[in-house]
Amino acid sequence: MKDVIAETTGQGPLVDPFGRAVTYLRVSVTDRCDFRCTYCMAETMQFLPKSEVLSLEEIERIASAFIRRGVRKVRLTGGEPLVRRGIVSLVDSLGRHLGRGLDELTLTTNGNQLAKHAEALATAGVRRVNVSLDTLDPDRFRRITRWGELPRVLDGIAAAKAAGLAIKINTVALRGINEDELGDMAAWCCREGHDLTFIETMPMGEVDEDRTDHYLPLSIVRAELAKRFTFRPTDYVTGGPARYVEVAETGRRIGFITPLTHNFCESCNRVRLTATGRLYMCLGQEDSADLRAAVRPSPSDADLDAAITEAITRKPKGHDFVIGRGQPRAAVPRHMSVTGG
């Protein structure tokens, strides 16, 4: 009886048409960034006017509505989440849900502002962060990020570690750019005590180059790494899309996110909120719902709850990413920084 009431009032758990429970919300808190990674952004980007971006209070309200409906994990991302003014107060207010429905509050960051914020994030209840790092070579780092300085990011990672945060490094595998140092990255992560996830480059948004030139299937990366490390299977899962192996020599994990060589949609439990309040039910599809229109004019959450319920009925079965010669350079026109990686 309770479930029937919840369903009709739009307040029950979120289950999509394929029976997948939606328990993970990613929020892009800004489309802006203090780097310009070549595979992610063009050097010159048109960013959103501030009036279109959700206020921190609106983000909190929407995230809270999802938590009431069974979302147990929230990840703040972007753009670069740590360039959003007031980000720590948002983390603080979301942190109050921890242990009261929310199991985990986390961030994906480029690490550039991490030294400044690590302590406050830990105090607010963040226990681990993902830091994107594609190389340990300062010149390469500058080439990939265009504006970044490697030592500053390494300082950020050290500060996060000192604050007690667990760190997972995200590395995009790029043919001809970092493919020769992926084994060294894995060894460094093992030494430093970080988990590591490799990612295939995805065709999202036009950038200044053709991603096909640097697309490196992780099947190749994995085979190369297996010459240096012994991989043991593990059933470790984080609620994210990575599949993990354990490195026998060190006991640490390496994850592989393979949207192109192995589609992971069948176990998808997540939805993504953009900085303007559009809810994307799939990273690789264009359909979205406008939650800002439900939240901005209305102090009551009834419209928001109804909009969320309706959106989840439209969650598609999966994405259709393909990368290669003869394919459009961008499968979806949105950059990863808009929807939040």
Using rule CB under 6 A, residue 323 touches ligand SAM: no
User: Two tokens at 89?
Assistant: 């107060």
Using rule CB under 6 A, residue 23 touches ligand SAM: no
CB nearer to ligand SF4: pick between 37 and 169: 37
**Chosen residue from 14, 29, 41, 121 binding ligand SF4 by CB under 6 A:** 41
Owner of token pair 């289950």? 15
Give min distance, CB of 110 to ligand SAM, in A. Answer: 4
56-64, 108-116, 183-191, 303-311 -> range binding ligand SAM (CB under 6 A): 108-116
* CA dihedral sign, ordered 17, 323, 234, 132: negative
Using rule CB under 6 A, residue 37 touches ligand SF4: yes
17-25, 107-115, 119-127, 176-184 -> range binding ligand SAM (CB under 6 A): 107-115
**Dist. CA 199–CA 221, nearest whole Å:** 10
**Chosen residue from 40, 53, 129, 225 binding ligand SAM by CB under 6 A:** 40
User: Two tokens at 241?
Assistant: 């899309």
**Chosen residue from 38, 110, 113, 276 binding ligand SAM by CB under 6 A:** 110
**Dist. CA 144–CA 207, nearest whole Å:** 13
Q: Are 105 and 126 in contact (CB under 8 A)?
A: yes
Owner of token pair 């203090």? 34
State the amino acid at position 205 in one-letter form.
Answer: G
Distances (CA, A) of 192 to 114, 157, 163, 188, 291: 17, 10, 15, 6, 41
Q: Is 128 annotated as a binding residue?
A: no
Q: Report which of 136, 253, 261 is spatially closest to residue 197, judged by C-alpha positions.
A: 253
With CB under 6 A as the rule, give the number of residues binding ligand SAM.
19
60, 62, 65, 67: CA torsion to nearest 10: -60
**Chosen residue from 36, 73, 272, 278 binding ligand SF4 by CB under 6 A:** 36
Which of ligand SF4, ligand SAM, none binds 36 (CB below 5-8 Å, type-dependent)? ligand SF4
Q: Are 277 and 292 in contact (CB under 8 A)?
A: yes
Nearest residue to ligand SAM by CB is 341
CB nearer to ligand SAM: pick between 109 and 178: 109
User: Two tokens at 186?
Assistant: 């894995």
Q: Say if strands 278-280 and 288-290 run parallel, antiparallel, or are unpaired.
A: antiparallel
Q: Is 33 annotated as a binding residue?
A: yes
**Dist. CA 143–CA 134, nearest whole Å:** 11
Q: Report which of 276, 293, 303, 305 is spatially closest to residue 65, judged by C-alpha positions.
A: 305
Q: Residues 58-97 vs ligand SF4: string with x where CB under 6 A?
A: --------------------xxx-----------------
Give min distance, CB of 189 to ligand SF4, in A. Answer: 18
> What residues line the site for ligand SAM (CB under 6 A)?
33, 39-40, 77-78, 80, 108-110, 132, 170, 172, 199, 201-202, 204, 336-337, 341
Q: Which residues contribute to the annotated binding site for [4Fe-4S] cluster?
A: 33, 37, 40, 265, 268, 282
> What residues line the site for ligand SF4 (CB under 6 A)?
33, 35-37, 40-41, 78-80, 110, 132, 337
